[in-house]
């Protein structure tokens, strides 16, 4: 059996229960879209640095985890574009743009120095700029959100419904935060959900692993990127789909 990223965190009882209960894949549907969640400058910083170094200038950084995931996410995005799959990019909505405190500020702003230090990058619209390597191109949807899940307060659901999407392939960050919230809401909205394992990342190794475990066993399928891309290359877009 192939070892999964969460296996080392499971107790003997956990493993016994999983063996007894089994696992059934939810699978793909017929009309997928790629959902790219929060791949903005605030979590990457300007260059690859270990987490504790990177947060000195970019407090929201995920350190090296983001940079290590970047080529995998680029590959997934390239495959989606190659096969003609709709792509939706989601990023944050800054306080100055919305006029209200966004989720990140409301959730973290009370922590001393987390976002307010003058020695760190200022908060503003630029913190939510999607990094150049993953920037949207013409024809791809682009949405801003003020909550962990893009299903809350955005036209995402209406957009997916109009396209007839039944499956979401998910990439982005953080695994334990906005990715999980998006996956749970997508499942609640009756989409099939597939998380490309190498294409999501987090600041903390344990929460990354165990949230992947939860998503895989409750809300969708967490699959290796190679397996996701194999399915994508075999998929045939219905006539007129995504246009």
What domains, with CATH codes, occur in the chain? 30-234 (3.40.50.850)
Q: pLDDT tens, 154-212?
A: 999 999 999 999 999 999 999 999 999 999 999 999 999 999 999 999 999 999 999 99
Better-scored residue on pLDDT, 84 or 236 = 84
178 part of the active site: yes
Q: CB-based burial of residue 100 (10 Å sphere; 0-12 exposed, 13-18 middle, 19+ buried)? A: exposed
What per-residue confidence (pLDDT) applies to 99? 45
| Percentage, residues of the chain above pLDDT 90 | 80
Question: What is the per-residue pLDDT for 241?
Answer: 79
Residue 166 in 3-state DSSP?
A: coil
pLDDT of residue 236: 87
pLDDT at residue 238, as a whole number = 84
Question: Does the structure show a pLDDT above 50 at 63?
Answer: yes
Q: What tokens were used for 50? A: 């270990």
**Torsion, CA 88, CA 93, CA 98, CA 99, rounded to 10:** 170
């Amino acid at each position: 059996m192939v070892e999964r990223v969460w296996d080392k965190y499971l107790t003997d009882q956990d493993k016994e229960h999983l063996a007894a209960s089994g696992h059934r894949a939810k699978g793909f549907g017929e009309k997928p879209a790629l959902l790219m969640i929060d791949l903005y400058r605030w979590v990457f910083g300007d260059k690859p640095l270990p987490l504790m170094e990177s947060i000195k200038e970019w407090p929201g950084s995920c350190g090296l985890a983001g940079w290590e995931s970047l080529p995998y996410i680029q590959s997934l995005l390239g495959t989606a574009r190659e096969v003609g799959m709709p792509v939706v990019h989601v990023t944050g909505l800054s306080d100055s743009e919305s006029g209200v405190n966004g989720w990140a500020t409301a959730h973290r702003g009370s922590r001393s120095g987390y976002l307010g230090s003058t020695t760190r990058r200022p908060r503003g619209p630029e913190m939510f700029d999607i990094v150049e390597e993953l920037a949207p191109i013409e024809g791809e949807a682009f949405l801003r959100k003020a909550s962990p899940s893009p299903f809350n307060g955005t036209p995402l659901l209406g957009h997916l419904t109009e396209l007839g999407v039944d499956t979401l392939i998910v990439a982005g960050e953080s695994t334990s935060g906005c990715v999980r919230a998006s996956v749970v809401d997508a499942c609640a909205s009756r989409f099939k959900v597939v998380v490309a394992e190498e294409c999501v990342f987090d600041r903390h190794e344990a929460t990354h692993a165990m949230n992947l475990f939860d998503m895989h066993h409750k809300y969708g399928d967490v699959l290796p990127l190679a397996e996701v891309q194999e399915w994508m290359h075999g998929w045939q877009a219905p006539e007129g789909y995504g246009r």
